[in-house]
A and B are shown apart, each in its own frame.
Chain A
Amino acid sequence: MDAVEKANYERQKQWAKEKKVGEGTYAVVYQGREAKTGRKVAIKKIKVGAMKDGLDMSAIREVKFLRELQHQNVIALLDVFSSKTNLNLVLEWLETDLEMIIKDRSLVFLPADIKSWIAMCLRGLEFCHRNSILHRDLKPNNLLIAADGQLKIADFGLARDFADPGYKMTCQVITRWYRPPELLFGCRYYSTAVDMWSVGCIFAELMLRIPYLPGESDMDQLKTIFRALGTPTEEEWPGHTKLPDYVPVGQFPKHPMRDLFTAATADCLNLLAKFFIYEPRKRISAKDALSHPYFFALPNPTHPSKLPRISAQSTRTLEEVDGNVDLDSPGPAVKAPPPVPNRLKRKLSSVSESEDGSYARRLDFKKTDRTKT
């Protein structure tokens, strides 16, 4: 055990925690640095003993999948180590997320910028799908933006690998505004198409700068979708009326998308419509989307480093000003919200963690000397 402890200690020394930047139900997030290189990292400290069901499912999913996935557009898990009673995930540090960029009214998006973000998102997602992983919680604030402008898919707390055909999955996934109608109708057998609907919502949101389908309840979500896209017919989506939670929510006519997305090109609208095909089997896949003419037409996607970004002012810490951070980032001081690594946003109900007094500690009947480090 000494060897294990020592190895852990060695690992721990490589990463220096600097300040707390966020807290969620099962973890506290710190900003830190790699001791050797000074590279900024996010350290997510997971409280193991504190949970009543052991290590939280979200944490397990996150570790399980991030250990496997290495891609430019998926957040990188750099290391995992344990310290005393906690497990620590070291993730790459990402300054901001797409939601904050969308909300920053001082930024102007060019069509080429939107193309660039969506392409990066699709590349990351295609990689996940190719590796049989469903994300199940795509939304702008889970798309983090690195300092070099690269978009990274994050928060794999709801992800899972494809189920065997015929194996039920929960339909209570994906944040409501980004949830496809089949899940709202209680479909328990689904696949990659659910993520594609979310991408469509994000795509639309990039163009509109407000959420495209902001339903107020699950019921209202369906209404919102149908109001925007028209009520599906049996022909468009065979069998949807037989889904477990199907309820008729009224007949809404179809409006041409052009009416709302006035500035979009024909290619752009064509692709957008394919993300919103009701029949999940016909909805476009990430792979096909990437070879859609939209991505080959002019304008070319903006290079990630040239994408609009939030002024770094509010996040700049002292050592950064002293250090080698580029101070020529664009934009005057705007009231950009402070970029918190928001990997925990979904779970705001933070549990008060009363130090180590958790009951797993108290029942310390057969403990080796791991409490000392």
Chain B
Amino acid sequence: MGAVSYSSPSSSQWLFPLSALSATPSAETSGISLENELYDRARGVEFLFRLGTSLALPGSAMYTAATWFHRFYMRYSMEDYHRQDVAASCIFLATKTEECGRKLRDVAKVYHMKVTGVEAGQVPPDSPEVELCQARILQTEEALLEALCFDFVVDSPHTELADLFDTHPDEFLVQEYSWSFASDSYRTPLCILYPSQVIAAACYILAQRVADGPQSASLDARLSSPAPVSSLPTPPSHKATSPNASRLAIEHFAFNEVELAGVADALAILLEFYSAQDVAGSADYLQPVIAVTPPAVPSRKSLYHPFSQINRTSSSQDAGLQGRTPNSSHGGSTPSKVPSPVEDSRRS
């Protein structure tokens, strides 16, 4: 889709058309392919979440940090700033802006532990590696602040979801799922493409679809305008079933056509991201999500290649930084739960 305008002025400079992803500094100045960049963005955010979780940060700080991470790479190349430095720096800055301060040394220590796989007890108090991590974080922070234009305040789909949940408090499973999808949405660049309401709605609708099971209405049906039945009397006994309840999010946010198209695009991107996971291997719990048919959207270039096929050594940075993230899972599981078949069967 082309350049669209949304009604959120404060963050408008941070919402890019999808085409901008092919023209990032990483692509333009470093020749990094779109697939590789998105893969490394996902890995960077995964690392960011792992740092944040180890530091026991509140979700809001991690989501803010993740948004900055994506914004940063709209202005700098992944070749010039390693994703793990940027992730750590985003986390550190977020602890300062979100009033959950952590000592630089602690952030650097966790960073060092995550990169090397060393246990906390084995890091000497005056470890030169930790010193180096500190210096890296600080140095990256300078570039980060500049790239962010000091826009520290960031919206998140979670805030929108919390409001939405209030209007419909009983849907426990849908709430759990949509919360996890919203967290996972940060592994994709959705937060720099669509306003947080649009992302929240996409997550909620996908959650409803998964919770309702494979036989339920398609995403397209859930997104389409309702049949003009408003003039017909509805039998009072008739409880609205899923397709109508699924209008909940769309009606809650009172979307216009542009935003509705955005929801469909966001859903398509999210599902494409999930499909790229190592489904046969470590991420088989994603099966029920991947089985969902994406909504019909205008054809575009595909964004993700299956992660298991991406050549690990392809991004030039990693040559000198072998083994920085051992055993990283590339999507799906942190910081909160993702729907799993086990959970599904238990509840249905």
- Is B149 part of the binding interface, using a Cβ–Cβ cutoff of 8 Å? yes
21 A-B Cβ contacts within 8 A?
A: A1-B29, A1-B76, A4-B76, A48-B141, A48-B145, A49-B142, A53-B103, A55-B96, A55-B145, A57-B101, A60-B96, A60-B97, A63-B150, A64-B97, A64-B150, A360-B138, A360-B139, A363-B132, A363-B135, A368-B80, A370-B143
Residues of B within 8 A of A53 (CB): 103-104
User: What is the count of residue pairs linking A and B with beta-carbon distances less than 8 angstroms?
Assistant: 73
Task: Count chain A CB atoms within 10 A of each CB in B25, B101, B139 and give the residue with the most.
Answer: B139
**Taking beta carbons and an 8 Å cutoff, which residues of A are in contact with B?**
1, 4, 8, 48-49, 52-55, 57, 60, 63-64, 67-68, 80, 82, 85, 87, 160-161, 163, 169, 359-360, 363-364, 366-368, 370
| New A-B pairs, 9, CB < 8 Å, besides A54-B92, A82-B146 | A1-B77, A4-B76, A49-B138, A68-B153, A80-B150, A82-B145, A87-B150, A366-B80, A370-B143
Bound complex: CA A180 to CA B90 (Å) = 35
A1 CB, min distance to chain B CBs, angstroms: 7
Bound complex: CA A8 to CA B142 (Å) = 14
- Is B93 part of the binding interface, using a Cβ–Cβ cutoff of 8 Å? yes
Asked if A67 meets B135 with Cβ closer than 8 Å, knowing A48-B145, A60-B97, the reply is no
Interface of B is mostly: helix
Q: By the criterion of a CB under 8 Å from any partner CB, how many residues of chain B are at the interface?
A: 30
Contact check, A80 vs B80: say whether CB atoms are below 8 A apart.
Answer: no
| 8 pairs of A and B residues whose beta carbons are closest in the complex | A64-B152, A363-B135, A54-B141, A63-B150, A80-B150, A82-B146, A53-B104, A54-B138
Name the residue of chain B whose CB is nearest to the CB of A161: B99
Task: Count chain A CB atoms within 10 A of each CB in B80, B146, B152 and give the residue with the most.
Answer: B146
- Is B147 part of the binding interface, using a Cβ–Cβ cutoff of 8 Å? yes
Bound complex: CA A53 to CA B108 (Å) = 11
Residues of B within 8 A of A48 (CB): 141-142, 145
Asked if A54 meets B25 with Cβ closer than 8 Å, knowing A67-B152, A163-B99, the reply is no
Residues of A within 8 A of B99 (CB): 160-161, 163, 169
- Is B75 part of the binding interface, using a Cβ–Cβ cutoff of 8 Å? yes
Residues of B within 8 A of A67 (CB): 150-153
- Is B161 part of the binding interface, using a Cβ–Cβ cutoff of 8 Å? no
**Taking beta carbons and an 8 Å cutoff, which residues of B are in contact with A?**
25, 29, 75-77, 80, 92-93, 96-97, 99, 101, 103-104, 132, 135, 137-139, 141-143, 145-147, 149-153
Residues of A within 8 A of B29 (CB): 1
Residues of A within 8 A of B96 (CB): 54-55, 57, 60
Residues of A within 8 A of B149 (CB): 80
Bound complex: CA A370 to CA B80 (Å) = 12
Bound complex: CA A360 to CA B138 (Å) = 7
Residues of B within 8 A of A80 (CB): 149-150
Residues of B within 8 A of A4 (CB): 75-76, 146-147
Residues of B within 8 A of A364 (CB): 139
Bound complex: CA A54 to CA B90 (Å) = 12
Task: Count chain B CB atoms within 10 A of each CB in A359, A363, A364 and give the residue with the most.
Answer: A363
Bound complex: CA A64 to CA B10 (Å) = 13
Residues of B within 8 A of A52 (CB): 104
Contact check, A87 vs B152: say whether CB atoms are below 8 A apart.
Answer: no
Bound complex: CA A63 to CA B103 (Å) = 21
B76 CB, min distance to chain A CBs, angstroms: 7
Contact check, B75 vs A360: say whether CB atoms are below 8 A apart.
Answer: no
Bound complex: CA A165 to CA B177 (Å) = 26
Name the residue of chain B whose CB is nearest to the CB of A358: B138
B198 CB, min distance to chain A CBs, angstroms: 22
B240 CB, min distance to chain A CBs, angstroms: 34
